[in-house]
Amino acid sequence: MSLATTNATDRERTFPLTLVVKYLTIVLFLFTERCSPNHTPEANKNIALSGTSGTINSPSLLAHNLDCRWTITVPSGHRIKLSFSFFHLGEIEAQADCEKVDHVKVQDGNDGNDPVLGTFCGHVAPSPLFSVGPKIEITFASNGDRVLQGFSARFESISGGKLTKYFSLNNFL
């Protein structure tokens, strides 16, 4: 009987600690995989995500002159499909250069020499994008003019198929 009492007492002592550890794990997960005006610029430019699917969002409080970079990695042998479900980075003039306004840039791989799949601005969500390999890099930059609504995108690991040629509307604008 005393053994059961000891186990119950031990559980009672460790329960609050277990709860605190689980809470801190959840808090760290929420804040380390997001871009925020409250994080250091270095932290915002080194957000790493991995797995077979997930969602990225621009900061809920878009700050002026904020730069964010997510590197997404899926299992080896797979590619990434990136789909934007919400995209509103503001109105732009017909011939505006996206680099001069709030924009999202998607680059295949995470090496500066890898090809850019597209640079997007305005309020029309891009069509789904597909990587050649298991990594892409997504960069968001706000220019400081206005605080806007932002974007939301979902990544999925896909297998099969090969992308043999890059196609971008940016080449035709």
Q: Would you write out the chain's pLDDT as a tens digit for each of its 173 residues?
A: 444 454 555 555 555 544 444 443 333 334 346 788 778 888 888 899 999 999 998 876 556 778 899 999 999 999 999 999 999 887 776 556 888 888 899 999 867 788 999 999 988 899 999 999 999 999 998 876 665 678 999 999 999 755 554 455 444 44
- State how far the alpha carbon of 112 is from the alpha carbons of 8, 37, 106, in Å: 57, 25, 12
Q: Which residues of 5-21 are buried (b: 16+ CB within 10 A; e: fewer)?
A: eeeeeeeeeeeeeeeee
pTM across the whole model? 0.71
Name residue, tokens 């605190």: 20
Residue 97 neighbours by CB distance under 10 Å? 12
- The CATH fold assigned to 33-161 is Jelly Rolls (2.60.120)
